[in-house]
Amino acid sequence: MESERRQLFSERLLTKGRSYFFDVKLSAPGNAYLIISESRKVEGGKYEHTRVMVFENDIKEFRDALRKALEYIETRPGKQTAT
């Protein structure tokens, strides 16, 4: 149940057209997990929400894979620089 989960941390990132939320919660048995949410406005003024949950026992592998993906984006050949 949602009432059994406790929020430990929350960070919001607002960008052009999208909002991202990074929330760390604690489950009833005491396990921490990360929820990454995206919210964006779609046609008709409604909002579309997408969520990814990463559990505590997977966090190191998730962090390593995310770091590799971000490094690739930042250093990829042919990358266009912002002007």
Dihedral sign for Cα atoms in the order 33, 7, 48, 74: negative
76 vs 79: CA distance, rounded Å:
6
- What are the chain's domains? 2-75 (3.10.450.700)
Interval 38-58: pLDDT, tens: 999 998 989 999 999 999 999
Q: What is the pLDDT of residue 78?
A: 84
Q: What is the pLDDT of residue 68?
A: 97
Residue showing tokens 């990358």? 79
Positions of the chain with pLDDT under 50: 1
Q: What is the pTM of this model?
A: 0.80
Closest CA relative to residue 54, chosen from 31, 71, 38, 29: 31
Q: What is the pLDDT of residue 83?
A: 55
Q: What is the pLDDT of residue 61?
A: 98
